[in-house]
Amino acid sequence: MNLLNSSIGNQAGRKVMFNKVNKFAKAVVTVAMAGLMAVGCAADMGEVDLVQPDYIKKSDLLNKTWYYRRTVVDTSENHQPFLSIGTGDLFTIMRIKFDIQENVLVGYTDYEFVEGTEEAGDEGSVFTDYGNPIVAFPITKHFDIARQYDSSTGQPTNVISENSSDNEWFDRDYMRVNWSADLMSHNFFVLDVKSYPVTGGRWLGENQEPANPYRARFTPDEGYFDFTTAHTMMPDWYQCLYEYGFSWFTCGAGESRVRHSFMQMDEQEAAAYKPLDYPDTVPVLDANGAEVLDPETGEVRRSK
């Protein structure tokens, strides 16, 4: 009887042990399957792009010459006498090159306003390869567009984001510019007009509306981009009243919109350009092509 009980007890013990091993094996298989499913789900998620819009590639701006012009595209009624729609950089299209600094994007003329006054290397010269600064816009961020990675293993993930830490600011490929705030204080109107930029919040809002006529068009890789800024314009009332005869009520402050347009210069076309000479007067020539002298003064006769 004792032997029988012992045999039954051994069988029960082995059964309990088998059940424990079986449960442990199932648990291991379950964990492994869950891990495989997690990996599979992660692989099925695809790429997650966290890069925000309104950025620009630096190489699309640099080492190029751009034609630049500002045009008033909307203005208040009391600005009409001196700041009508269509005015702006009167009779002028400027030519600039961009320089990217840490906190500001500066556009310099690529020519001298007065020949010989801005040559690099002259004693006491503060100029290098640039002329006069024309525009300056704040840079809010320098970054690369890169895939995130595990910092401990270096394994890349499926998330693409703006990386502003791995490289120095000047080695990053992209930047975001606050185009709504021109830092240069200059006048380009007929009258002396002080311009105060409107906050950039409206500018950002308008650029999120596809049908908005003031929406920016950024295609510098195709050789053109433009954007429209809002400004509170304050004319010089003394000049307005005494020099132009406008009344106080038609020469007040108001808001206007100015479109900034940039078009890349065609280097080959520019190289083929040959300026023509249009003098105020030309010498009078005889039938043989010789200059005709004035018998009284002895000077060469000239005609307009």
Q: At 262, which amino acid appears?
A: F
Residue showing tokens 């509170």:
232
Lowest pLDDT segment from 25-34, 70-79, 123-132, 172-181:
25-34
**pLDDT for 118:** 61
The percentage of residues in the chain with a pLDDT greater than 90, rounded to a whole number, is 24
Predicted confidence (pLDDT) at residue 186 exceeds the cutoff of 80: no
Closest CA to 174 of 145, 149, 146, 148: 145
Summarize pLDDT for 202-244 with one digit per residue, the tens: 565 666 677 888 888 889 999 999 988 877 776 666 666 665 5
CA–CA separation, 212 vs 205, rounded Å? 10
Q: Are 292 and 286 in contact (CB under 8 A)?
A: yes
Identify which has the larger pLDDT, 241 or 67.
Answer: 67
**pLDDT for 58:** 96
**pLDDT for 66:** 95
Predicted confidence (pLDDT) at residue 194 exceeds the cutoff of 70: no
CA–CA separation, 137 vs 120, rounded Å? 25
Summarize pLDDT for 126-144 with one digit per residue, the tens: 555 667 888 899 999 999 9
Lowest pLDDT segment from 77-91, 249-263, 284-298:
77-91
DSSP run (H or E) holding 271: helix 267-271
Model-level pTM? 0.66
**pLDDT for 111:** 79
CA–CA separation, 131 vs 84, rounded Å? 30
Summarize pLDDT for 246-271 with one digit per residue, the tens: 555 556 667 778 888 999 998 888 78
Angle at CA of residue 66, ends 62 and 69, nearest 5°: 140
Summarize pLDDT for 37-65 with one digit per residue, the tens: 544 544 456 889 899 888 999 999 999 99
Closest CA to 127 of 135, 136, 118: 118
Average pLDDT value over all residues in the chain = 75
Residue spans of beta strands (DSSP E) within the chain: 48-49, 56-57, 66-75, 94-100, 104-109, 133-149, 156-163, 174-177, 193-197, 217-219, 224-235, 254-264, 282-283, 302-303
CA–CA separation, 129 vs 108, rounded Å? 9
CA–CA separation, 122 vs 103, rounded Å? 28
Helix H segments across 121-259?
Answer: 200-206, 237-238, 244
Handedness of CA 101, 103, 107, 113 (dihedral sign): negative
CA–CA separation, 128 vs 120, rounded Å? 5
CA–CA separation, 89 vs 168, rounded Å? 37
Predicted confidence (pLDDT) at residue 286 exceeds the cutoff of 70: yes
Residue showing tokens 């920016």:
216
Q: What is the mean pLDDT of residues 174-193?
A: 70
Closest CA to 60 of 208, 268, 262: 262
The percentage of residues in the chain with a pLDDT greater than 70, rounded to a whole number, is 61
Which contacts qualify for 215-218: CB closer than 8 Å, 24 or more apart?
A: 216/179, 218/54, 218/56
Predicted confidence (pLDDT) at residue 156 exceeds the cutoff of 70: yes
Identify which has the larger pLDDT, 232 or 125.
Answer: 232
CA–CA separation, 47 vs 158, rounded Å? 5
**pLDDT for 120:** 54
Identify which has the larger pLDDT, 198 or 2.
Answer: 198
Lowest pLDDT segment from 94-103, 123-132, 175-184:
123-132
